[in-house]
Amino acid sequence: MKKFEIISKEKLNDNITRLVIYCPLVARKARPGQFVILRTDEYGERIPLTMAGHNEADGTIVLIYAAVGRTTMLMDQMGVGDCFADIAGPLGKPTEMEGLKRVCVVGGGTGNALAYPIAAGMHDNGIKVDMIAGFKNKDLVILEEDFINNTDNTYVVTDDGSYGEKAFTTDKLKALLEQGNKYDEIVAVGPPIMMKFVCEIASQYGIKSVASLTAYMIDGTGMCGGCRVTIGGEDKFVCVDGPEFDGALVDWDELVMRNAYYKEQEAYDRAHVCRLTGGVRYSD
């Protein structure tokens, strides 16, 4: 097998795909919660993706992505046997698990792809895990069997009630807490607004919350400053200080605002000229 070669490709729904990639050096060191930065080719932009799993024995990592921008759409055109130009990682700090006995992991939408390795990793380490997986509708549900097989309890909820229980993730979390379930920690992974409300609920019940944040990043080393966030009044960088932070300390309003900075530049058909290579690229 070649380095960075796609070993398998599976469509989880119309827009979300799971790739297994031969990447032995990354697989050897990877831990739940960490991410990689990849390029499809030598002229491609660098994008971060959280690893949805890894297998040190066969030297593979798992990536799950939604085809929403230029690079992920290019990834959709790649197939088994194709190779990425490069994959750097593992980056970021692994999920902290020490001292935890029971947790609730809350995933929203495509964030469930990132929540899965955290939930499964905790479960593998003997922690009792309740998983709340929320989606807009039945067609967007992913990883249900994976969650069921790798957590103690899995609750699938949909906004419109077309599958599982009709509820928002926050509604289900409140219900579990009101039923008397006790958690050492609540982990939120998904859209910033959802994570904000999940962390607020955790605070109301006196439970520590952890949020896995996404932000713009270029190099993954903290030098570019693109992924700056404010945590407890201090500047932090998602790529090196995170991606997981104490949810009660996150400046959520600032995070939402910063994540909207480059919406115009993110348009699929908006080209720009790279100052390093001179090549025309598209923002993702």
| pLDDT number for residue 239 | 85
- Count of other CB atoms within 10 angstroms of residue 138: 14
Estimate to the nearest angstrom the gap between the alpha carbon of 256 and the chain centroid.
16
In this structure, the answer to whether residues 157 and 57 fall within a common structural domain is: no
Report d(CA 198, CA 26) in Å as an integer.
32
Give the separation between CA 242 and CA 117, rounded to whole angstroms: 16
Grouped pLDDT means (10 residues each) for the chain, 284 residues: 92 90 94 90 86 92 86 89 93 91 95 91 95 95 94 96 94 96 95 93 95 80 81 89 91 81 54 51 44
Do 60 and 127 fall into the same domain? no
Residue 251 lies in a domain: no
Say whether 114 sits in a helix, a strand or coil.
helix
Q: Is residue 202 part of a domain?
A: yes
Residue 260 has a pLDDT of 64
> pTM for the whole thing?
0.85
Last residue of some domain: 190, 212, 234? 212
Q: Which domain holds residue 145?
A: 102-212
CATH classification at residue 158: 3.40.50.80
- 180 by Cβ neighbours in 10 Å (0-12 / 13-18 / 19+) ranks as exposed
Residue 283 has a pLDDT of 42
Domain membership flag for residue 163: yes
3-state secondary structure 117-134: HHHHHHHHCCCEEEEEEE
* Structural domain count of the chain: 2
